[in-house]
A and B are shown apart, each in its own frame.
Chain A
Amino acid sequence: GAVVSQHPSRVICKSGTSVKIECRSLDFQATTMFWYRQFPKQSLMLMATSNEGSKATYEQGVEKDKFLINHASLTLSTLTVTSAHPEDSSFYICSARLQGVVEKLFFGSGTQLSVL
């Protein structure tokens, strides 16, 4: 299957700092990528849709100024958590859409963010 690489896998930062997470589709081009967040023992919640060359679309309740998304190329999307606070601590997962007759999503391995 298609491979999506996500880095870093784990990050610990101090409150108030910004953290950047990268998501790359390694063997296919993805015009659309998605960012999810997952709290312990809960399911994945869609945060935003990242569109190559245009602004991201955010789900209701997700602050666009706090979670900055850039999708500058067909293989790379980045999520920057700005001025992180302890409540932003979560598991962040990206996915990339493989277009076809029936579209599939392939997921990165996730980033565990811990804000102290």
Chain B
Amino acid sequence: DAKTTQPPSMDCAEGRAANLPCNHSTISGNEYVYWYRQIHSQGPQYIIHGLKNNETNEMASLIITEDRKSSTLILPHATLRDTAVYYCIVRPGSARQLTFGSGTQLTVLP
């Protein structure tokens, strides 16, 4: 799986958009970008995934650059409950397991 680089921590004000970056400069053509998050003492939660087009669902938006070497996860209106570690993972769509890096600790401030 391609290696990803994320900032170790970020803060965001409640109600504002949280933009979490991820660099994956060695991504291959068949690899997808997945985002998961882990709230303290819970299992990871799937957020969104994409290949090359931008994606949006009820939780977040995923913006992938045209060269696919980086992406941004956007939480449009962050709440205190969005405080978690966010993991950006790159892997083929048919790959079996997920390999977790260190992620970004997002803290939403009141």
- Which residues of A are in contact with B by a Cβ distance under 8 Å? 1, 4, 6, 32, 34, 36, 43-46, 49, 91, 93-95, 97, 101-110, 112
B96 near A107 with CB under 8 A, answer no
- Find B44's partner among A93, A97, A103 (CB 8 Å cutoff): A93
- Which residues of B are in contact with A by a Cβ distance under 8 Å? 32, 34, 36, 38, 41-46, 49, 87, 93-103
B49 near A44 with CB under 8 A, answer no
User: How far does the alpha carbon of A89 sit from the alpha carbon of B70 in the complex, in Å?
Assistant: 37
A103 near B93 with CB under 8 A, answer yes
Q: A32-B96, A104-B34 are in contact. List 14 more A-B contacts (CB 8 A).
A: A34-B97, A36-B100, A44-B100, A46-B98, A91-B41, A93-B44, A94-B43, A95-B43, A95-B98, A103-B94, A104-B46, A105-B46, A105-B97, A106-B46
User: How far does the alpha carbon of A109 sit from the alpha carbon of B36 in the complex, in Å?
Assistant: 14
Query: Which chain A positions have C-beta within 8 A of B100?
Result: 36, 43-45
B49 near A105 with CB under 8 A, answer no
- Name 17 interchain pairs, CB-CB below 8 A, sorted by A: A1-B46, A34-B98, A43-B103, A44-B100, A46-B99, A91-B41, A97-B96, A102-B32, A102-B49, A102-B93, A103-B95, A104-B46, A106-B46, A107-B43, A108-B43, A110-B42, A110-B43
Secondary structure at chain B's binding surface: helix, strand, loop or mixed?
A: loop
B41 near A112 with CB under 8 A, answer yes
User: How far does the alpha carbon of A5 sit from the alpha carbon of B82 in the complex, in Å?
Assistant: 22
Secondary structure at chain A's binding surface: helix, strand, loop or mixed?
A: strand
B44 near A107 with CB under 8 A, answer yes
A49 near B96 with CB under 8 A, answer yes
Residue of B nearest to A101 (CB): B93
**From residue B99, how far is it (CB to closest CB) to chain A in Å?**
7
**From residue A5, how far is it (CB to closest CB) to chain B in Å?**
10
User: How far does the alpha carbon of A31 sit from the alpha carbon of B102 in the complex, in Å?
Assistant: 28
Residue of B nearest to A9 (CB): B41
Query: Which chain A positions have C-beta within 8 A of B45?
Result: 107
Query: Which chain B positions have C-beta within 8 A of A109?
Result: 42-43
Query: Which chain A positions have C-beta within 8 A of B95?
Result: 103
